[in-house]
Amino acid sequence: MHISRLAKWAAVVVVVATFVISGLTVLALARSGAIDSYPWESVGTALAIFGAVTALIVGIAEADIGTHKTKRDAQPH
């Protein structure tokens, strides 16, 4: 099954945004006192960081794949 490039990136953006937004929401709730600070502040921080790192890794991997495709396509057959 072929997934279009746009659909793949849309899925990545949704997953990353979900992690970051949920992490920041948990952090805000913990800091406002709505939920206990321990362990939720650490959980919120971890979720937000995981989302950001995931975005970085996916971006690097996609750039690397694109570079290899470009090099392969540029070689004479």
**pTM tops 0.85:** no
Distance CA 52, CA 23 (A): 10
Are 45 and 23 spatial neighbours (Cβ–Cβ below 8 Å)?
yes
Q: Supply the range of the domain harboring residue 58.
A: 5-74
Q: Which residues contact 29 (CB under 8 A, 6 or more apart)?
A: 35, 40, 44
Domain tally, the chain: 1
Tell me the per-residue pLDDT of 18-73, one tens digit each, with 9 for 90 and over.
Answer: 999 999 999 999 999 999 999 999 999 999 999 999 989 988 887 776 666 655 55
Confidence of residue 17 (pLDDT cuts 50, 70, 90): very high
Print the SS3 string covering 55-66. Answer: HHHHHHHHHHHH
